[in-house]
Amino acid sequence: MDVIFDIDGTLANAKHRLHFINDNAHWTTSGGKPPRPNWEAFLADDQVAKDTPIPQTWSILSTMLEFPSDYRVIFITGRKESTRRMTYSWLTEPTCDHRGCAALVWKKQSLYQGKTVGPILYMRSESDRRPSDVVKESLLFRARADGFHPDLAFEDRKEDAAMWRRNGLLCCQVAEGNYLAPHSCVPSFLINVTLFLRVNLTFT
């Protein structure tokens, strides 16, 4: 069986950096554009490096990796290609029990196969600013073209879980994943007014 794992919020505890996308006080206003979630800060290397593994999902992942003839695991993430090296390191460095198990499995398989074996990562291209579910759907199509036929996905984000299900996968949603709900119903002009008042009150 081919299995998809999301990373942020599914394997990586990203709670410490969620305020960049779900608290408009931390949104970006660069380029004179309306405030928007600060995905750049949310996905910055120094922030992501602080993530801790989510033990329950890592336990499932490690178990699946032990049986490569039964499970082919791929990672489909909304992270950008520029974070590939850091993400690869985060997944494979044996810095704790959970990640250590997976790292050991990949190392053993590498020795057995005589070539480097590690996580297969599908990531967002640098210029792609589409919503996560749209990006991941494209990556799913690419994975299928590469010969993977996923039946199961582990995911935290609500919209992304719905997308996996629309595409026929059984999705284990590991968190509520309703990250933008508190602000998604707020018109952008109200956010602009709020930010304007905040800035002006700060300087008066």
Q: Which residues bind Mg ion (CB under 5 A)?
A: 6, 8-9, 156-157
**Closest separation between CB of residue 190 and Mg ion, Å?**
27
Which CB, 62 or 77, lies closer to Mg ion? 77
Distance of CA 172 to the CA centre of its chain: 15
Nearest residue by C-beta to Mg ion?
9
**Nearest distance, CB of residue 147 and Mg ion, angstroms:** 24
- How many residues in the chain? 204
**Burial class of residue 19, CB neighbours in 10 A (0-12, 13-18, 19+):** middle
| Residue number, 50 or 108, with CB nearest to Mg ion | 50
Q: In the complex, what is the shortest distance from the CB of residue 177 to Mg ion, in angstroms, rounded to a whole number?
A: 7
The answer to whether the Cα torsion of 141, 142, 146, 152 is positive or negative is negative
Nearer to Mg ion, 117 or 180 (CB): 180
CB of 6 to Mg ion, least distance (A): 4
User: What is the smallest separation between the CB atom of 10 and Mg ion, expressed in angstroms?
Assistant: 5
Residue 157 CB, shortest distance to Mg ion, in Å, is 5
**Nearer to Mg ion among residue 54 and residue 64 (C-beta):** 54
Nearest residue (CB) to Mg ion, 86 versus 195: 86
Residue closer to Mg ion, measured from CB, 8 or 51: 8
